[in-house]
Amino acid sequence: MEVDVDYFGFDLTSTAQSIAALCVADCRATDGCKLFVWTRFNGGTCWLKHTAGAKSHLPGSIAMIVKKVSTCGVQELDVDYQGNDIDSTERAYPDLCCDDCKNADGCTTYVWTDFNGGTCWLKSAKGAPAQYDGSVSGSI
């Protein structure tokens, strides 16, 4: 994230958002979007761009490159979805849980914790969300 930075031109579209953090989802949902510049224009505007043009100083703006998410969607940090466990797998890294969930019949959600060096808890549904420091959750 770059504060007080604008990248000139190469706009795909613009969306109205009151804060820059909300531009991330807009960019991910827009084909070809690789970055955005948020400004205070009209109460908050995301300028979704396919290329970073010439860099310039623009007070109050926020620029950010947006990486596309995997086919498993956005991962959530420090959230456990309680119950609905159908299986578990030993995995050192949470990114490996996605494929395990895809390959398990009925799995729609996973939660990774550092239990036993790393465990993916494969779930049939999202249960009640609970704070669990260090966990990583995702859905397919």
Q: Write the pLDDT tens digit of every residue in 48-69.
A: 999 999 999 999 999 999 876 5
Give the three-class secondary structure for 28: helix
What one-character DSSP code corresponds to residue 24? H
Confidence of residue 70 (pLDDT cuts 50, 70, 90): low
Options 3.50.4.10, 3.30.70.141, 3.40.50.10740, 3.30.565.10; CATH of 76-139: 3.50.4.10
Measured CA distances, 111 to 36, 104, 105, 107, 127 (Å):
30, 14, 16, 11, 11
Look at the block and give the residue holding tokens 């309680």.
Answer: 82
What superfamily would CATH give domain 2-65?
Answer: Hepatocyte Growth Factor (3.50.4.10)
Do 98 and 72 contact (CB within 8 A), yes or no? yes
| Global model pTM greater than 0.85 | no
> Is residue 132's pLDDT more than 70?
yes
Specify the pLDDT at position 96. 87
Confidence of residue 140 (pLDDT cuts 50, 70, 90): confident
What's the residue count for the chain?
140
How many angstroms from the chain centroid is the CA of residue 110? 15
Look at the block and give the residue holding tokens 């706009």.
Answer: 11
Which pair of tokens denotes residue 126?
A: 């999202």
**For the CA atoms of the chain, what is the radius of gyration?**
19
Strand duo 35-39 + 55-65: pairing: antiparallel
| CATH 3.50.4.10 location in the chain | 2-65, 76-139
CA–CA distance, 52 with 73 (Å, rounded to integer): 25
